[in-house]
Amino acid sequence: MARGSSGIVAGLTAAALAVVGVLAYQASANAPDSVAAPGPAASVTATGQAKPTKKAEPPAVLPADSGTGKRVVYALADRRVWLVDEAGKVLRTFPVMPSALNPQPGTYRVATPRQGPATKGSDGVMIEHVVRFATVDGVSVGFSAAVDGSMKSPDPSLKTGGVRMSRTDGNAMWDFAAVSTAVIVVP
């Protein structure tokens, strides 16, 4: 009888070790990065597909000759905006999707009361946090965020003036750019 029970104990021990091994693997696969062992350059999704690693984007440098004091700087070629305080410190920078109609480089001012509630943009998309600063070919040009968070390229056949940004960046623009705030447009 002693022999039979030692076989059972060995079998149970082997099964327990297998269970512990599976649980250890699952725990290591779900561990936060702060405690997990370093992994390969690309992580793997739950479906086994490799996810590309995200490269750190170099900080965007405020364009030279973009004014002084509190201002919004809009670089057309870079498709980027900077919010700059009175001391010349960049508070925030972010990418934007230019409108179909772009203002000429120069100095503009936020000229109309900011529009808060969601409204329909000139392209038919529901937008919020509209900050208008220019007019091109009779169309108002301003910064806004699509309510659905999209930043699609504008239809070039439409005369639209919405410079789109993410909702988070739209909130920051809304809080920063009051009426009369300078908007410096650079090439």
Which whole number is the average pLDDT over 77-101?
95
pLDDT of the residue at 120: 85
What is the three-state SS of 29-90?
A: HCCCCCCCCCCCCCEECCCCCEECCCCCCCCCCCCCCCCCCCEEEEECCCCEEEEECCCCCE
Collect all residues with Cβ–Cβ distance below 8 Å to 124 and sequence separation of at least 6: none
Spatial distance between the Cα atoms of 118 and 121, rounded to a whole number of angstroms: 9
Q: Over the stretch 112-139, which tens digit does the pLDDT of each residue have?
A: 765 667 888 878 889 998 999 999 999 9
Report whether 136 contacts 163 (CB < 8 A). no
Q: How confident is the model at residue 21 (pLDDT cuts 50, 70, 90)?
A: very low
Whether residue 160 is predicted with pLDDT greater than 80 in this model: the reply is: yes
pTM over 0.75: no
Mean pLDDT of the chain: 77
Nearest CA among 118, 126, 114 for reference residue 175: 114
Which of 46-50, 57-61, 112-116, 119-123 is predicted least confidently?
Answer: 46-50
Report whether 140 contacts 160 (CB < 8 A). no
pLDDT of the residue at 67: 93
Q: How confident is the model at residue 179 (pLDDT cuts 50, 70, 90)?
A: very high
Helix (H) or strand (E) holding 133: strand 126-136
The CATH number of 71-186, from 3.40.1280.10, 1.20.1250.20, 3.40.30.10, 2.40.440.10, is 2.40.440.10
pLDDT of the residue at 92: 96
Q: Take residue 146 and report the two structure tokens written for it.
A: 């699509």
53 against 151, higher pLDDT: 151
Residue spans of the domains in the chain: they are 2-51, 71-186
